[in-house]
Structure 1
Amino acid sequence: MDDTAAWAGLLRVHATLVPLLDRELQSACGLPLTSYDVLLELNSAPGRRLSMGELGQVAVVSRSRVSRVVDQLAAEGLVVREVNPDDKRSAYAMITDAGRKRLRGAAPVYLAGIKRHFTDHLGADASAVAAGLERVLAALRV
């Protein structure tokens, strides 16, 4: 296997799987994958809130789209924006009880999709793939 085979495979899987999971979440729950990801990150954050900059760093959605996704979620009552008391130019996004309920409702669809379309096909290799990807991320954080 040449040096680019794993990279090319990762890109093809990502390009195929992300739209598939997005369609499944939207069909079953009316929630786009980008919204699910933002809700998931906010729900797991300390105090269930993140600054917009922090959210842009951890969410899979691009930093430029984070604000639009948060605006859409806020319009649905799933998150609220709070002004940063230490810096009025920045804001926090915080998941609401309604957002947590929506996230819990969508989680089984999301997790089943990952299992059915991804991890079931990796079998015993799933742990090795996860460990390898974590090593790459750790090296990029340096």
Structure 2
Amino acid sequence: MSEPRWLDASQQRDWRAYVDGSVRLTEIMDRDLKTRHGLSVSEYEILVRLSEAPGHRLRMAELADNASQSRSRLSHTCSRLESKGLVKRDNCGTDKRGVYAQLTDDGFATLERAARDHVEVVREYLIDVIEPEDLEAIGRAFSAVLKRLGAT
């Protein structure tokens, strides 16, 4: 068995900064969305993905891939959104196994309100505290990570 390729001190420092910063930022975004709009970050992300889809509608399998959630987790999250009247699900007419998630008018209105507050949190804790070239570097870095993970 070969020896692991341990991180050097600077790699470890940067890795820990990423882990700690991303966890804390997600916690802040989640707390803010829940307090102001009754949405979790994962619920918000589903609303965003549906709002960007043609007709504000996606197959559940595609939505799971786009929102980076397992199919079972997505199903539970969509059930919560359905009970709030923000999403509705319909069977696919051409594929009996397929199910669509559709953003409702209330869901779109909720997303519009939440997005105004959410963007301010993103700006306050990320965009406005780093240099533009660092933001570009983050974008390049995570595009490479997503490519490696096969998520592009």
TM over 0.5: yes
User: How far off its partner does 1:4 sit?
Assistant: 4.4
Counterpart residue type for residue 117 of structure 1: Y
Decide whether the 8 Å contact of 1:81 with 1:93 is kept in 2: yes
Equivalent residue of 1:115, what SS?
Answer: helix
Gaps of 5+ in 2: 1-8
Distance 2:102 2:115 in 1: 19
Residue in 1 that maps onto 2:104: 96
Matched, 1:131 2:140: yes
Residue in 1 that maps onto 2:81: 73
Distance 1:4 1:49 in 2: 42
Select which of 48, 53, 57 maps to 2:56.
48
For these two proteins, the number of residue pairs brought into alignment is 142
Distance 1:46 1:90 in 2: 17
Q: Deviations over 1:20-51 (max 9, x none)?
A: 11111111112221111110011101221111
Residue in 2 that maps onto 1:118: 126
Distance 2:59 2:22 in 1: 27
Could you state the TM-score of these two structures normalised by the residue count of structure 1?
0.89
Which is higher, the Rg of structure 1 or of structure 2? Answer: 2
Q: RMSD of the alignment, in Å?
A: 1.8
Deviates more, 1:132-141 or 1:12-21: 132-141
User: How far off its partner does 1:96 sit?
Assistant: 0.8
Could you state the TM-score of these two structures normalised by the residue count of structure 2?
0.84
Q: Deviations over 1:36-83 (max 9, x none)?
A: 111001110122111111111111444331101111111111111010
Higher helix fraction (1 or 2): 1
Matched, 1:57 2:54: no
